[in-house]
A and B are shown apart, each in its own frame.
Chain A
Amino acid sequence: MATLVQEAVPAGGAATSSPAETVTLRLWRGDARGGEFRDYTVENLGGEVVLDVVHRIQAEQAPDLAVRWNCKAGKCGSCSAEINGKPRLMCMTRMSSLDVSEPITVSPMRGNPIIRDLVTDVSYHFAVARRIPGFHPGPPEPDGTYRMSQVDVDRVQEFRKCIECFLCQNVCHVIRDHEDNKPAYAGPRFFVRLAELELHPLDTLDRRELAAKELGIGLCNITKCCTEVCPEDIHITDNAIIPMKERVVDARYDPIAWLGRKILRRPAPTPAAEVASLTPAGRSGEVISIEPRTPPGGPA
């Protein structure tokens, strides 16, 4: 026999102890004009994440159920939704972490306009991205390359982990509750981007005026809701927003201090591997809880 010899162990095998026989997802179905939650019950196979169950519902019961996803491994940031009211990645939420004795509510991200079912309009975020002037390096070393030390790179690599899931944008009350703030507010994802450029060892542009005047960093009142939902454990508030706010203040009072901070450390003689600290530090542990709700335009 020339087939691949591995055989999947029967569903619900060794790892799970007598799971519930079925699970029910309560999915939002509808579009910009309105819609409703509908319950879909499928067999409980064990070892699945929410996205798997959504896919089985799609294949077996609702072929036109709209959902975004790509990597199914928490790497692309496509599958954001609210699961029992909590903003999560569907592909990284294990069914075993949820109470399946009750229907599990899956609804679209409420900060964005709805397109269809679980798919929302994220064009606002892409438009904000276009407003931030990109990376602008100084001249390279004489050999045409750049030198940076791992310590300087580490700080920025935390921000570069962002998978653009926009969960943080979705929970930020400045735009979640006040649609009219959108034109003057970039949101936490883009404060992370600003901090990344600001702390980038090679970048030379000063974007602090822009951050203050056009991107509204002053409107953020450090509630940390964004940090709590970030699937990449980026310390959005402590490491990006607060330092950025401080630098914006420096811009007004002390341009020399800003320059001083921009000057980088020369590569240190310590082995790079030792100074790297990519380990996600502990999260705050609290989870924000938002009641399941009806998306805009939907029935009560």
Chain B
Amino acid sequence: MAEHETHVVDVLVIGAGGAGLRAAIEAHERGARTAVVCKSLLGKAHTVMAEGGVAAALRNVWPEDSWQVHFRDTMRGGKLLNNWRMAQLHAQEAPDRVLELEAWGALFDRTPDGRILQRDFGGHRYARLAHVGDRTGLEMIRTLQQRAVGLGIEVYMECKIVRLLRDASGAVNGAVGFYRESGSFVVFGAKAVVLASGGVGKAWKFTSNSWESTGDGHALALWAGADLIDMECVQFHPTGMVWPPSARGILVTEGVRGDGGVLRNRDGDRFMFNYIPDFYAKETADTIEEADQWYDNKKDFRRPPELLPRDEVARSINAEVKAGRGSPHGGVFLDIASRRSPEYIKRRLPSMYHQFKELADVDITAEPMEVGPTCHYIMGGVRVEADTEATTVPGLYAAGEVAGGMHGANRLGGNSLSDLLVFGRRAGLAAAEHALGTGEVALDLAQADEVIAEALAPFGRERGENPYAVHHDLQETMQDLVGIIRTESELLEADEKLDELEQRAGVVSVEGHRQFNPGWHLALDLQSMLAVARCTTRAATARKESRGGHTRDDYPNPDPELAKLNMVTRLDPSGAVTVAPEPLPEMPEELKALFDEEH
């Protein structure tokens, strides 16, 4: 038997971002012995990078706001592909979850009367995002981390899970991983496992995501027999840095536009006025004069088109550049310098100021930024039951970016951080209940041994493929063929390329030993990225329409029939990824009525 250490807990949480930490806190408080594992150090997960804020209808700035309006905005932003029940729970519970963070020590920016201040973001009817300057994610993760540490929850840092374990009935009952630091293996037995592993951005070339976002949780679920939905729905954030090359893809927060920044093309035109879709025409300003008055008087004026949902803005930027009206480095200009005072910019957007100064030598209080779309977020993910976050496999739960359904075809800014809190808590709660009603774990160590042998295989090969080279080629493939605008021939080409990349990934070899060896880590991350890439490519081929983050050149319009279907990806008995359209859960009449009301 391969050598490894073993830990048995009630609830194992994979991931220490906002979703994982919130899930762990809840499971612990419900009396379950809980452990968290994460690939990085505690407090470094991707959530730390979130800038703009957390969306919740707190009604501190706009008493007119309500969960119903937040729900409606979320569903409209998601082009109605959302799981309505998740969107409802999210809108209803987000305010409590944000207030709870405050009771745990978070310090949000304040209104004059001492409540939590809220800011405007694209697609949200009212100023709704609780925030801390432009470092909201840091505040959130630190608060949750300090809470989890205070509660004494076990944390296994720099530990990567490579496979889930299942019992004879097919239920998940543990996981196998290794410590990055030493390369030694660890087996967890658990009555319930919560996936909170974040996103997939690293499968694309230009991304705002960190190295951790390799879709491990999506792949772990798929391999364990779970369903994934909406994997074709990937969000390209309209404003990533485009220059210098090394900074390409790094996010420029939507807060810049919420605070007055506008998009201009090479000729200085605010081109977004030319791209207002009918769907949003009623609530979007069509003249510069009206748009500019909105910042101070949101009641009487409509919002500027720069604050349309992300998919609309990203496509518009892409079209401007394609038409030859882009900036010198292939983006467009984001200008706040000519519109707000340097003091205001530095106070509202301190980390953006810092980021451009340090990385691009650009003073955003004096000159425009160059920006363009960057792969940012995956709306698709593991299919879950809205109230409990239970996946289609017993004992397995999923919350946060790894779960699908909540955001439909496009996510609104700020709705992820609130999603992490609402569904992290629900997943932790349901997992604890499940665990406390489940008998002792009977681990199958032979299964674990197989997993370990497979994970170590790259050390045994000589002169195999270089994992960095395979990763590079995967990123090129996904960027070029399964990027922001898609078409059938290119998707089929991508699918073929993935065959070849899978073969190459199957024969990678790594140099050196097991201790903190990034080449080896990448070799294993590649397996997950390839699985995700395959799901996205096949689901994108199957959805023959354009909807939200999924845009097809060959089917440029939405198809009302496809609006009723999720694309479900799962493994068939031979291990191949299949796609099946399945009907969305039907929205009850009283919620449907919200869409008819005149707002």
Contact = CB atoms under 8 A, between A and B. Distances in A.
Interface of A: 2-9, 11, 13-15, 31, 45-49, 52, 58-60, 63-78, 92, 94, 96, 115-117, 119, 122, 126, 129-130, 133-135, 137, 140, 144-150, 153, 156-157, 160-161, 163-164, 200, 202-203, 266-273, 276-280
A145 B515 contact: no
B487 A2 contact: yes
Interface stretch (B65-73, B132-140, B383-391, B430-438): B132-140
B330 A8 contact: yes
Given A47-B247, A70-B40, A72-B210, 10 more contacts: A75-B138, A94-B358, A96-B361, A117-B516, A126-B41, A148-B107, A148-B114, A160-B139, A271-B112, A278-B347
Interface of B: 40-46, 48-49, 99, 102-105, 107-115, 117, 132-133, 135, 137-139, 142, 146-147, 149-150, 157, 181, 206, 210-212, 242-248, 250-251, 318, 321-322, 326, 328-331, 343, 346-347, 350-351, 354-355, 358-359, 361, 372-373, 466-469, 472, 479-481, 483-487, 490, 510-513, 515-520, 553
Contacts of B466: 63
B143 to A, nearest CB: 8
A90 to B, nearest CB: 12
A74 B157 CA distance: 21
Nearest to A11: B245
Given A75-B351, A77-B44, A147-B113, A59 B468 contact: yes
Contacts of A119: 181, 516
A276 B48 contact: no
Given A4-B485, A52-B246, A78 B41 contact: yes
Contacts of B157: 126
Given A9-B330, A64-B519, A67-B518, A272 B117 contact: yes
A48 B244 contact: yes
A136 to B, nearest CB: 9
A135 B516 contact: no
A54 to B, nearest CB: 10
Contacts of A66: 515-518
Contacts of A156: 107
B112 A267 contact: yes
Contacts of A31: 515
Contact of B110 (A133, A140, A148): A148
Given A15-B244, A74-B358, A272-B109, A279 B347 contact: yes
28 contacts: A3-B481, A8-B329, A45-B246, A48-B245, A58-B518, A59-B472, A64-B510, A64-B513, A64-B517, A66-B516, A70-B210, A71-B44, A71-B210, A73-B359, A75-B135, A75-B137, A76-B40, A76-B48, A78-B41, A115-B516, A119-B516, A137-B105, A140-B103, A150-B109, A150-B110, A157-B133, A160-B142, A279-B346
B331 to A, nearest CB: 6
A184 B266 CA distance: 60
B42 to A, nearest CB: 7
B382 to A, nearest CB: 23
B52 to A, nearest CB: 13
Contacts of A116: 515-516
A163 B138 contact: yes
Given A5-B322, A150-B109, A71 B244 contact: no
A6 B330 contact: yes
Given A6-B330, A46-B244, A267-B112, A63 B468 contact: yes
Contact of A5 (B103, B105, B318): B318
Contact of B347 (A133, A149, A276): A276
A45 B244 CA distance: 10
Contacts of B104: 135
B523 to A, nearest CB: 9
A137 B104 CA distance: 8
A5 B330 contact: yes
A5 B104 CA distance: 46
Contacts of B41: 68, 78, 122, 126
Contact of A71 (B48, B149, B484): B48
Nearest to A271: B112
Contacts of A270: 112
- List 7 tightest A-B contacts by C-beta distance, closest first: A47-B244, A267-B114, A135-B105, A64-B512, A63-B519, A6-B330, A147-B114
B516 A4 contact: no
Contacts of B490: 2-3
| Residue of B115, B322, B329, B518 ringed by the most chain A CB atoms within 10 A | B518
Contacts of B149: 129-130, 134
A11 to B, nearest CB: 6
A45 B480 CA distance: 23
Nearest to A137: B103
Contacts of A271: 112
Contacts of B485: 2-4
| Residue of A46, A135, A269 ringed by the most chain B CB atoms within 10 A | A135
Given A9-B330, A134-B150, A276-B347, A200 B49 contact: no
Contacts of B468: 58-60, 63
A145 B102 contact: yes
Nearest to B102: A146
Contacts of B322: 5
Contacts of A96: 361
B244 A164 contact: no
A10 to B, nearest CB: 9
Contacts of B350: 278-280
A150 to B, nearest CB: 4
B326 A73 contact: no
| Residue of B44, B466, B510, B513 ringed by the most chain A CB atoms within 10 A | B44
A116 B113 CA distance: 52
B139 to A, nearest CB: 6
| Residue of A31, A130, A153 ringed by the most chain B CB atoms within 10 A | A153
A203 B48 contact: no
Contacts of A266: 114
B431 to A, nearest CB: 24
A224 to B, nearest CB: 21
A63 to B, nearest CB: 3
A14 B211 contact: no
B518 to A, nearest CB: 6
A269 B46 CA distance: 37
Contacts of A72: 210, 250
Nearest to A279: B346
B105 A14 contact: no
A130 to B, nearest CB: 6
| Residue of A52, A76, A140, A277 ringed by the most chain B CB atoms within 10 A | A76
Nearest to B346: A279
B246 A153 contact: no
Contacts of A150: 109-110
B292 to A, nearest CB: 18
B109 A153 contact: yes
A270 B112 CA distance: 6
A190 to B, nearest CB: 12
Contacts of B372: 6
A236 to B, nearest CB: 17
A276 B326 CA distance: 36
A75 B246 CA distance: 16
Contacts of A4: 206, 318, 373, 479-480, 483-485
